[in-house]
Structure 1
């Protein structure tokens, strides 16, 4: 089934560039509209029924009607339409505001072709509903977090909850993205911008805290066993990491904290 996309950006070179990039992708994707402002795009969108347009790619700052207003109006009638926001670094805060309307992701200019490809591929694979039209499974999976005032924090809490439970397994960003129903690049940036830490840094902190618990609660366990229990197959690497994080070796920590 073809994926129907609408592009909105006041810079013609951006619109033409996106159309060219998309046309060369080995995905069944069709650009059914390209507009220079939100007003024209909204007028055209109103002529379509839900499900006839699968994805809206829109800039933030535009004349007549900006991207945020466009998204706000779109969400009143097309609440399942996947939306990707384009923004420059100077418009990053506007892109963050767009998150509360449940955008799928945002792309920084200049556009990363591979990132766009992965997003469209993800959208196509997100499942086709019973009527044969595309649906955003992500919105369902996250409990319609777009309508939640703290939508960003909800997703971050989901990520933390997952890592708190799965800390002993090999870390795969793709699997985490699949769990949240978001794209890998999106959750990475969202987590960093919300917490100030990368997902990897958070996972390391969780693992080290778990290692401390094992050292104190189960002093009979060998170092290599604790290493494996918290997700590290190499006990030497675990030792170095623990010392860097705690300022002492696991052995010294156990000695200092057990009776």
Structure 2
């Protein structure tokens, strides 16, 4: 049984989390759902470590914000798994959360798969602690939460800026990490290089443009998805899709013949 407490000033978010968690193939019990940090702390301070496995808290809340709640929770129950839930994607929020040793940093709107992964890790952590207790002040939680956020933030930047000229150093500066570290971490966590991930985004955008705006010229589409050289774009598109952009556009416009 994974015992979870939720603190978020948006009732729809709290109810949504409860609903999603209840429909997973995991044994989850929401032991508390609170609209501000003060209420959550008042409840948490009456619990024993065996009564709660995970605290999911928003950052921006009235009466007591998420960081203060985390501080109080950490002092009271140092091994409690904590995840931050926030609509703010700025790295400074994540960096502060990571310093407090949070297990994960979840961005709203939360994805079912991401919540499942978090709950699964908490469940596995319970089993691990029971079978083979970690030494005190273990850095495992701290590292996992930070690494997950760095990868997700990198993906988010690439999704937004795919049409710009790609510079790893500029990306690293935005994320707030060393460029070589981000490259190695991204490949380790996703199985893809950052460049390959970016190519995937650009080709997907190009396919959408070819299908939805067939009057666009090839060089225009190339520029719109970040390639100044239309010849290179043509070769790359054919390598990735098995056909040229022109053939792909024609295939999208040709009506399917029913047999």
Instruction: Indicate the TM-score class for this superposition, using the shorter chain for normalisation.
Output: 0.5 to 0.7
- The Cα of 1:65 is off from its aligned counterpart by 0.3
1:119–1:183 Cα contact (<8 Å) kept: no
Displacement of 1:50: 1.7
TM-score (norm: length of structure 1): 0.56
Aligned to 1:64, what secondary structure does the other structure show? coil
Partner of 2:148: 185
* Residue of structure 2 equivalent to 1:100: 99
Q: Does 1:64 align with 2:63?
A: yes
Match of 1:195 among 178, 191, 207: 178
Over 3 Å counting, the alpha-carbon distance change for 1:101 and 1:88 in structure 2 is same
Q: Could you say what the CA RMSD is over the residues aligned between the two structures, in angstroms?
A: 3.3
CA distance in 2, matches of 1:187, 1:136: 25
Distance 1:64 1:141, change over 3 A: closer
Q: What residue ranges of structure 1 are gaps of 5+ in the alignment?
A: 147-154, 156-180, 205-259
**How big is each residue's C-alpha offset from its partner over 1:135-190, in whole Å with a ceiling of 9 and x where there is no partner?**
78896254xx85xxxxxxxx4xxxxxxxxxxxxxxxxxxxxxxxxx5697346348
Q: Is the CA contact (8 Å cut-off) linking 2:89 and 2:107 kept in structure 1?
A: no
| Count of equivalent residues | 168
**Contact in 1 for aligned 2:2/2:123 (Cα 8 Å):** yes
Partner Cα separation in structure 2 for residue 117 and residue 190 of structure 1: 19
Counterpart CA distance in 1 for 2:134 and 2:116 is 17
**Partner Cα distance (2:70, 2:46) in 1:** 16
Q: Which residue of 2 aligns with 1:116?
A: 115
Aligned to 1:177: none
Q: Contact 1:86–1:106 (CA<8 Å) still a contact in 2?
A: yes
